[in-house]
Amino acid sequence: MNDEERQFERVLEELADLMNQLGDLSRSVTVIGGQVLAIESRLRGKSGEVTLRTETGQSIPRGFTLEPDLLFDLDGTQFMAERLTEVLRDRGYRRTKNHRWSRELEEGRIDLDLFAPEGVDPLDLPTSMTPLRDSRLVLHRRQPFQLKVGGTVLSLALPSIAGFIAMKLRAKLELRPEVTKDSFDLVAYVSMIGAVEVVKALSADREGRRLQAQLVDLFRSKDAPGVVDVLAYAGALEPMEQELLAAAVVELFSEFLIA
């Protein structure tokens, strides 16, 4: 286990201890952001390093995600919500930004970015949180999980497939179109979950089919914006490897073509 992997493991252990101390309030928490990929990796018996693996045998690492993003759905649990800041302070966290609480660990600093569902009155929240525009999709059919880390168990939830896709598409298409990592994360996620499974989830309703169409536009050809992003992210590859990677990404999303 290298230093970065050890640091990632420590972050998961800290999350597990925090959730255990929060008690019933932890049932309202969903992991969002890049750490979704890391936990999906761990649940599949891998190290947690976010890596894109293609059918052509290529492996492009993104590394370990060390900053958890947590969505708190406090509806019906307001009577427990005030415990959140109390527990954070007891564990040595301090607020370093409006929405961020940080703590120094022996292995390095951990930053928790806190989110709330869109439309929640900030006065009803126990501390400042960023409103999440795609919270409805994230929370609908969210996926509880348990993961053994060290000598404890991390019990949390992951977003629905549609919720994760929606968040990453909004980040790429609206919030930070010049950044390449969101396209990379979308490809890594679909590759990990499986294109057939993702299409099945998105085909269930009109909103999912809208997301499916956006994915097709982003990855339909070698010169499509998402494919260009992935190639830029993997810029160290030789030209032949870049060609193989582009072809693999286009092939992956050919499953998403809508008749």
3-state SS, one letter per residue, for 172-188 = HHHHCCCCCHHHHHHHH
Using one digit for the tens of pLDDT, what is the confidence trace for 133-160? 999 999 998 999 999 998 899 999 999 9
| pTM listed for this prediction | 0.92
Which residues on adjacent β-strands are paired with residue 115?
A: 71, 130
Q: Where are the domains of the chain?
A: 3-159, 162-256
Rounded Cα gap, residues 57 and 54, in angstroms: 5
- DSSP state at residue 2: -
State how far the alpha carbon of 137 is from the alpha carbons of 12, 64, 156, 220, 246, in Å. Answer: 25, 26, 17, 24, 30
pLDDT > 90 in the chain, percent: 70
- The strand pair at 94-97 and 50-53 is best described as unpaired
| Total Cβ atoms within 10 A of residue 45 | 6
Rounded Cα gap, residues 150 and 13, in angstroms: 7
Record the tokens describing residue 153, joined without a space: 């168990």
Checking if the pLDDT of 6 tops 90, the result is no
Q: For residue 9, which of 159, 110, 157 has the smallest C-alpha distance? A: 110
- pLDDT at position 38: 93
Cα of 46 vs its chain's centroid, Å: 16
Using one digit for the tens of pLDDT, what is the confidence trace for 165-224? 999 999 999 999 999 999 999 999 999 999 999 999 999 889 999 999 999 999 999 999
Confidence band for 77, pLDDT divided at 50, 70 and 90: low
Using one digit for the tens of pLDDT, what is the confidence trace for 33-47? 999 999 999 999 988
Rounded Cα gap, residues 160 and 137, in angstroms: 7
The residue among 108 and 217 whose pLDDT is bigger is 217
Average pLDDT, the chain: 91
CATH architecture of the domain with range 3-159: 2-Layer Sandwich (3.30)
- pLDDT at position 59: 84
